[in-house]
Amino acid sequence: MSDLTELQERAQEIRRKYDQLNANDGRKKWDGADYTAGFVGDVGDLMKLVMAKEGKRRGEDIDAKLKHELGDCLWSLLVIAHHYGVDLEVAFNGTMDELEERLA
């Protein structure tokens, strides 16, 4: 199992490859808004797959597509956090601490 640091490093490696691909194609490098717009699209795709999983939509290979889309969403979150200098481990633990206090 990978730890968060390994996932972050792999996400950045893939992001750099996309940057190079875009540069080769004469397109601009993505910024935080571009990554976040992509994430929003991924979340929309994820919602459609969840609806199919719950029997509210039709589709094929739902489990495989759901797995893929969750991976896409995680990649986007890792890239967005890095872009804005957010330590996800610190952010996650801080949020969980707040929730625990609220639920206590």
Cα separation, 63 vs 56, in Å, equals 15
Flag whether pLDDT at 1 surpasses 80.
no
Residue 21 pLDDT = 95
Residue 32 pLDDT = 96
pLDDT tens readout for residues 14-72? 999 999 999 999 999 999 999 999 999 999 999 999 999 999 999 999 999 999 999 99
Query: The whole model's pTM is what?
Result: 0.91
Q: Report long-range pairs for 50-56 (Cβ below 8 Å, ≥24 apart).
A: none
